[in-house]
Amino acid sequence: MSHLFSDKVSLTFQLAQLLRNRIKQGVLAPGARIPPEVKLAEDFGVSVITVQRALKDLESDGLITRHRGRGTFVAERSALAATPVEREVLAVMFQDEFDPGTEILSWALVDRPTTLAGFDPSITSVKLLRRRVHRGGKPWSYGSIYVLPEVSKGLKTADIKRFPMFRLMRDKLGLELKDVDLSFFAEVPTPETSRALGIDPVAPVMAFRGVLRDVEDRVLTVLELYYRADLFAVKLHLDLKNPMPLP
């Protein structure tokens, strides 16, 4: 593995972030041609498949354009300016959803838990995805993702292992998303969570909760994820030259 990358985070995510930062910083200027996939793979010490997946993420975010027979190019300024900052934040928050180390434990229709807030009370059942992510041979995160039944019909197991849920709903299902509420907090895990993460029952975990809605204010999915506190870390890069405006 290249010394540029960590073995604790998806190579696809890291490469996409590296290229994204170079575009944002102007190292790769608008209209510039991106080197061929084989050359990128050699330069960064990764596989061609990893390069292809990273470029697909950048294309989905509007940062690059791909033309058959001509190559791949950095998008012009107008396209870059239209890319929401929120996409990068969501990519950081949800990147572990599509990590190669993701283990799908179950994907089935279940009765809606009475304690689950967010969904319309009239909804009696939801599609539940239980998954666990490993880093460095250890369980790193464990959680449940509840999806509206009619929305889940268009999702395949292979897709939910490779891509974050919000991107599947937006790009694969064509749903128009409105917003997402995110919250982080520390708590003592349930016995189920401590067993899944292989930690002491009284060891704290970092809990993450997200509620995703469409433009009709319908809740599409609720995420409840738990991270080992001894392995959890968040790194953010803030562009102070182009800061997010105050509301």
Output the DSSP codes for 131-173.
EEEEETTEEEEEEEEEE-HHHHTT--HHHHHHS-HHHIIIIIS
235 assigned to some structural domain: no
Region of poorest pLDDT, from 1-5, 132-136, 231-235: 1-5
State the pLDDT at residue 154.
86
State the pLDDT at residue 92.
47
pLDDT at residue 94 is higher than 70: no
| 52 and 118 part of one domain | no
Interatomic CA distance for residues 5 and 247, integer angstroms: 35
Q: Which residue has the higher pLDDT, 214 or 87?
A: 214
Q: Measured in whole angstroms, how far is the alpha carbon of residue 59 from the centre of its chain?
A: 15
Kindly report the CATH number assigned to the domain that includes residue 37.
Answer: 1.10.10.10
Q: Is 205 exposed, middle or buried (0-12, 13-18, 19+ CB in 10 A)?
A: buried
Percent of the chain's residues with pLDDT above 70: 79
Mean pLDDT computed over 3-14 = 67
Copy the structure tokens of residue 8. Answer: 């604790």
| 150 and 182 part of one domain | yes
Query: 160-185, pLDDT tens digit by residue?
Result: 877 778 778 888 888 998 888 888 88
240 assigned to some structural domain: no
Give the pLDDT band (50/70/90) at residue 235: low
Contact, 197 vs 142, CB < 8 A?
Answer: yes
41 assigned to some structural domain: yes
State the pLDDT at residue 86.
44
Q: Which residue has the higher pLDDT, 238 or 87?
A: 238
| Overall domain count for the chain | 2
State the pLDDT at residue 234.
62
State the pLDDT at residue 108.
93
Residue 222: which region, alpha, beta or left (left: phi > 0; alpha: psi -120 to 50)? beta
pLDDT at residue 156 is higher than 80: yes
| 73 and 142 part of one domain | no
| 196 and 100 part of one domain | yes
Interatomic CA distance for residues 176 and 235, integer angstroms: 29
Interatomic CA distance for residues 216 and 179, integer angstroms: 11
Mean pLDDT computed over 76-84 = 50
| 125 and 153 part of one domain | yes
Interatomic CA distance for residues 54 and 62, integer angstroms: 13
Q: Which residue has the higher pLDDT, 242 or 88?
A: 242
Interatomic CA distance for residues 143 and 131, integer angstroms: 6
Boundaries of domain holding 150:
94-228
State the pLDDT at residue 193.
93
Mean pLDDT computed over 215-223 = 90
Copy the structure tokens of residue 103. Answer: 């283990």
Percent of the chain's residues with pLDDT above 90: 22
